[in-house]
Structure 1
Amino acid sequence: MKTSQRAIMEAYEKLGEACTEAGPLTDRERALVKIGLSVGARLEGGLHSHVRKALEAGLEPVEIRQAVFLALPTLGLPTMMAALTWAEDVLGSRKS
């Protein structure tokens, strides 16, 4: 789509940049929000992407796992376990 619909993709990327610049959240805070949104929406690919970005933003695996665990009381065990599995796809055997 990036080549066949260049104008749409450029507009989408600009929207993302505008949302990022619209407030005071740090990269780490935004990464945690995006993880929570991906977990809540059950977006496996999105969670993979946002876990990678969270690591790039300096979050530790233990912080990412806690963000996923916080889904348990609100979204339930099946959703949290699915999300934890998806997060572990990226985190793998990383410590902490």
Structure 2
Amino acid sequence: MKPEKLPSGAGDVAGEYPEVWSAYAALGKACSQAGPLEARQRRLVKLALAVGNRSEGAVHSHVRRGLEEGISAEELKQVAMLAVPTIGFPAAVAALTWITDITDAN
């Protein structure tokens, strides 16, 4: 992702520390290419990791990108439902609200 398309906090870091941002982006690319998962699968896994980490900003980011990549709102919401038995009902409901922040705005 180009620094000008980043959310403000990440964009600020990318602008102030371009070498760090370049290294971070290269690491992300290398990790994405380190196995057989397709782009769609990787996006859903990354969303699930953001949900499990309870990172609202990362959930928003992966939902936005998922929608841009053609993943349906229903598929993205199912990630939160799959989280219920693993991270608990309250945390999964919170994640669902973060997902719907983006899916219901479109």
Q: Same fold (TM over 0.5)?
A: yes
CA distance in 1, matches of 2:77, 2:15: 36
Ranges in structure 2 where 5+ consecutive residues have no aligned partner: 1-12
Aligned length, in residue pairs: 94
Q: Does residue 39 of the first structure (1) align with residue 51 of the second (2)? A: yes
What is aligned with 2:63? 51
Larger CA deviation: 12-21 vs 85-94: 85-94
What is aligned with 2:10? none
Per-residue CA deviations over 1:23-52 (Å, capped at 9, x if unaligned) read 111111011101110110000000000001
- Residues 35 and 68, structure 1, Cα contact 8 Å, conserved in 2: no
Aligned counterpart in structure 1 of residue 37 of structure 2, from 6, 25, 33: 25
Q: Could you say what secondary structure the match of 1:23 adopts?
A: coil
Deviating above 3 A after TM superposition, structure 1's stretches of 4 or more consecutive aligned residues are: none
Alpha-carbon spacing, 1:73–1:12, altered in 2? closer, same or farther (3 Å):
same
Higher relative contact order, chain-length normalized (CA < 8 Å, sep 6+): 1
The normalised TM-score by structure 2 is: 0.84
The amino acid of 1:64's aligned partner reads L
- Residues 52 and 90, structure 1, Cα contact 8 Å, conserved in 2: yes
Q: Does residue 61 of the first structure (1) align with residue 61 of the second (2)? A: no
Q: Which has the higher helix share?
A: 2
